[in-house]
Amino acid sequence: MPRTAANAQGVELAYDSFGSPGDPLLLLVMGLGAQMTAWPEKLCETIAARGFRVVRFDNRDAGLSTFMDAGPQPDLGAILHGDPSSAPYLLADMALDAVSLLDALGVDRAHVVGASMGGMIVQQLAVDHPERLLSLCSIMSLPGDRVSGKSTPEAGAVLMRARPENREEAIAVGVAASQVIGSPGYPEDPEELRERVAAALERQSRGDGFGRQFAAIVASPDRTPGLRELDLPTLVIHGADDPLVDRSGGEATAKAVPGAELLVIPGMGHNLPEPLWPEIADAIAANARRAQAPA
């Protein structure tokens, strides 16, 4: 699997791609603690078939990219109580990772799509580096206003679970978490879910990056003021039944960005159910065409 050279912060990113190299680049950014494989290959191919070179990558502290374990570690208690000073990095730094990947690929501007924390990253990318974006799509995310997108108690507990002590416990915890936050309208086969969780652990079993990524989310400022300044084709997709990030998170994001389109999908929770892939891919492609249309 290809990796970028280390960027200014010493981060190397693992990535892969789908579709024709000659098509416009569409960058997929995944969420908290998740590897790029949480963008399933068939979903990537479905999007690529709409006329894009699709690139997915592992964020720092996930998958096969650089883990930031060498320096001081976050004091999550202090961060949650309003002192962000111990956060090793912010979402703005993760957005810079995406910029360094575009640089490595020789791409000036790209369509960007982010899910959950990935949605936060691409929002920050649009605020900080709008000249690098053609279009923006934020999925099951929120603008960081500390008001919208609240979790249910059960879903919130998923984020605070203790680190599993062995592989079997890790698989069980992963399956249970996915069942709590998943889509009630599109329940997953338990055995297929178990196989997917096991495959992710086989690829990378480290869990220490989760806390650092979580610290980046909590320590980063509200993106709403910056989002209000965007002039960029923007699509916000959210599940009507998302228990981890309530639909108000997507509504607040869409409200903040001038001209943004909001797609709320009934029965969808905090995942990307296979039956919805054609609808999601079509919506992403339609938003990208807004950028490509003549002025």
Chain center to CA of 63: 14
Q: Is the pLDDT of residue 181 over 80?
A: yes
pLDDT of res. 293 = 58
pLDDT digit string, tens, across residues 135-173: 999 999 999 999 999 999 999 998 887 777 788 999 999
pLDDT of res. 220 = 98
Q: What band does 295 get if pLDDT is binned at 50, 70 and 90?
A: very low
Q: Is 25:52 a contact under the CB 8 Å cutoff?
A: yes
Residues 29-45, mean pLDDT to the nearest whole number: 97
pLDDT digit string, tens, across residues 191-205: 999 999 999 999 999
pLDDT of res. 55 = 98
Percent share of the chain, pLDDT over 70: 99
Residues 5-14, mean pLDDT to the nearest whole number: 96
Q: Is 271:178 a contact under the CB 8 Å cutoff?
A: yes
φ/ψ of 110, rounded to 5, equals: -145, 160
Burial 119-152 (b: 16+ CB within 10 A, else e): bbbbbbbbbebeebbbbbbbbbbbbbbeebbbbe
